[in-house]
Amino acid sequence: MIIDGLQYANWSDAIFQQMREGGVDAVHVTIAYHETFRETVANIERWNRWFERYPHLIMQARCGADVRRAKQTGRTAIIFGFQNPSPIEDDIGLVEVSHTLGARFMQLSYNNQSLLATGCYEAEDPGITRMGRQVIAEMNRVGMVIDMSHSAERSTLEAIEYSARPIAITHANPASWHPALRNKSDTVLTALAETGGMLGFSLYPHHLEGKSGCTLESFCTMVARTAELMSVDNIGIGSDLCQGQPDSVVEWMRVGRWTKAVDYGEGSPNAPGFPPMPHFFHDNRDFANISSGLAAVGFDAQDVAKIMGENWLRFFDLSFGPMPEGPPRAYDD
């Protein structure tokens, strides 16, 4: 089982075919950065056309059983997620509507302050907001995973505390390995693991030691050290692969509509495009390199299988449906 916890590719039949060549069984795909609800629905419509056009390559997944069916039928399961809460606007009712449409992950913030939480580029982090507490409870109720990949430290720790269900950091690495703004402290990673949450290791060069020059050995050694901290049961891959995207897309990702200025975040503002991927991971056909690298640093076959997909699948089984014991309590000030 190979599952990728996050991609934002310039989707095409060629990429879908590469997924099959690489044996990728499921991918959490970003369908919204700064889009409103209606714009997100338009993105879902686009995906519906792809599902119709390429039914032999991809299918939509809403639960772990769908991922298993995709594998059995030789297809890649596509799981929708938001990298920002903008699709729910300021309406908590849109959490359930979005879940009904297939969304299974939502970040409580991107890089900036949102109505729910603080992004990792803000100078101050006041934590989860009043609306954020209510949205966490609603996401818990319906079965939408709280993702804190781009969120700041206090907000992330509070999301772990307030959520009645395990949360995810779908695409980030330990800050102790490479101190990127979006990489996470050992304090966060420990709290995440103690509550049954999942970390997806990012292959985006700005988050790697050595950036585009990162070696497979360095990456896999980092995974091994993180397994010692978090347990091998709480880690997976979240490549953050942006394959085929033009450099202009970085402006949408980083700037959206919130500023007239240019603010590209990590990396040089004079070179805002996508950096080259590390030599061992160019596209979806290269997951086997990671499997081999994990084995080379000492993981046995069972643990390699967990990291490459089985942990994510177990997490999907536990997370994508309604709360089994009824709705969680809402958190008031």
Of 106-115, 274-283, 320-329, minimum mean pLDDT range: 320-329
pLDDT tens for each residue of 214-251: 999 999 999 999 999 999 999 999 999 999 888 878 77
Q: Does the pLDDT of residue 326 top 60, yes or no?
A: no
**Residue pLDDT, tens place only, 8-20:** 999 999 999 999 9
CA distance 327 to 316: 19
Judge whether residue 268 has pLDDT over 80: no
In SS3 terms, 164-220 reads as CCCCEECCCCECCCCCCCCCECHHHHHHHHHCCCEEEECCCHHHCCCHHHCCHHHHH
Q: What are phi and psi of 99, to 5 degrees?
A: -60, -40
* pLDDT classification of 274: cutoffs 50, 70, 90: confident
Task: Pick the range with the lowest mean pLDDT from 123-137, 154-168, 215-229, 253-267.
Answer: 253-267
Work out the percent of the chain whose per-residue pLDDT is above 90.
Answer: 87
Tell me, rounded to whole angstroms, the distance of Cα 58 from its chain centroid: 19
Q: Could you give the domains of the chain?
A: 3-319 (3.20.20.140)
Please report the pLDDT score of residue 270 as a whole number. Answer: 52
- pLDDT by residue (tens digit) across 177-210? 999 999 999 999 999 999 999 999 999 999 999 9
Give the model's pLDDT for residue 196.
98
Residue of 188, 80, 83, 96 lying closest to 135 (CA atoms)? 96
Q: What pLDDT does 331 receive? A: 47
Instruction: Give pLDDT tens digits for 47-89.
Output: 999 999 999 999 999 999 999 999 999 999 999 999 999 999 9
Contact present, 3 and 313 (Cβ < 8 Å): yes
As beta bridge partners, residue 107 has 147
The torsion of the CA quartet 29, 35, 39, 40, rounded to 10 degrees, works out to 30
The model's pLDDT over 23-47, given as tens digits with 9 standing for 90+, comes to 999 999 999 999 999 999 999 999 9
- Quick one: 135 exposed, middle or buried, by C-beta within 10 A (0-12, 13-18, 19+)? buried
